[in-house]
Every structure is written in structure tokens, then in C-alpha cells.
């Protein structure tokens, strides 16, 4: 049950935006032209730039245990239209042939405030395309133990 909770870290994870501003960890980006980084950037553009929940769901790996995003996930922030996000930098921390871990510094803006956080992704290939196996926002990681985070990351990498 807890594993499913961890793997469902989605829009609810940005709840830490309530008026506080996180530190900006923008540093050197690597892999800027990488298809893996492009997947992460496209995820944010699709979800928060185009307000396209269905499009973001289409980017989830079919074997991921994370449930699809739904409009209700974004209601506390005035709906998906009330959130904007901009990737300020990325770092590929693990890069394999079929899986990758990417940390993305993201500036979130809502009616209740702005924050820059580092969100973690596990990407996995399906039919030659990089898809999101796990999206673990910083605010969600704060509520998890190191063991829970490691377990979720490893489970996503085994897809």
C-alpha cells in the first residue's frame, strides 16, 4: 500500500508551494540535447504550459504503477490552469540504455506563491520512446523516509 502511495506522487506533491520559496539548485545542466531531458521538459510543458492532463498521462510508462493524473489533483491550486512550471536546469544522475534518472530544477508558480524545487524522474523506454516511470516532486520526498524513496526509485528503474 505504501509503495503505491509513493508511486502516486503527482500533482499533490507540489502542495509545498503554499507561499514558500525553495532554494534554487540551478547548476550546470548536462545532457541538454538528450532525448531524456527533452522528455522531462515536454512533460512540464504539456502538463503546465498546455494544461493538457491527458497529454501528460500519455507520457507515463504503461508499466508504471502510478495512476493517471486527473483534474482533481490540481483543484487545490485553482485547477491545472492556475499552475505554471518552468524547468531551469536538469541533471542526468544515472544514464542507462533503457532507464535514466533525471533531477530537474523547476520553478512553480501558483496563485498561492512560487517555489523552485528539484523534482526527480525515472524514465524508462517503451517501444524506443523515453517515458516517465516515476515523477517524485521535492515536496513529496520531504514526507518520505530515505528507504521509501530508494524503494520507489528502484521499483521504477526495474520497469
Model pLDDT, residue 77: 83
> Higher model confidence: residue 114 or residue 12?
114
Q: Which domain holds residue 36?
A: 2-157
Give CA–CA dist 106/91, Å, rounded. 12
Mean pLDDT of 18-30: 39
Tell me how many domains the chain contains. Answer: 1
- pLDDT at residue 16 greater than cutoff 60: no
> pLDDT averaged over the chain?
84
Model pLDDT, residue 130: 97
CB-CB contact of 115 with 107 (8 Å): yes
Among the residue ranges 10-19, 100-109, 131-140, the one predicted with the least confidence is 10-19
CB-CB contact of 104 with 121 (8 Å): yes
User: What is the distance between the terminal CA atoms of the chain, rounded to a whole angstrom?
Assistant: 18
* Other CB atoms within 10 Å distance of the CB of residue 75: 12
The CATH number of residue 133's host domain is 3.10.450.540
Amino acid at each position: 500500500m505504501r509503495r503505491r502511495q509513493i508511486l502516486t506522487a503527482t500533482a499533490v506533491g507540489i502542495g509545498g508551494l503554499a507561499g514558500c520559496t525553495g532554494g534554487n539548485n540551478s547548476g550546470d545542466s548536462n545532457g541538454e540535447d538528450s532525448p531524456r531531458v527533452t522528455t522531462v521538459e515536454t512533460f512540464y510543458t504539456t502538463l503546465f504550459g498546455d494544461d493538457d492532463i491527458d497529454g501528460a498521462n500519455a507520457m507515463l510508462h504503461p508499466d508504471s504503477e502510478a495512476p493517471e493524473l486527473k483534474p482533481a489533483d490540481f483543484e487545490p491550486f485553482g485547477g491545472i490552469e492556475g499552475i505554471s512550471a518552468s524547468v531551469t536546469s536538469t541533471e542526468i544522475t544515472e544514464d542507462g540504455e533503457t532507464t535514466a534518472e533525471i533531477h530537474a530544477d523547476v520553478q512553480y508558480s501558483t496563485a498561492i506563491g512560487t517555489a523552485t524545487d528539484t523534482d526527480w524522474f525515472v524514465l524508462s523506454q517503451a517501444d524506443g520512446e523515453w517515458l516517465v516511470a516515476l515523477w517524485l516532486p521535492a515536496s513529496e520526498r520531504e514526507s518520505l523516509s530515505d528507504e521509501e524513496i530508494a524503494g520507489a526509485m528502484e521499483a521504477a528503474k526495474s520497469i
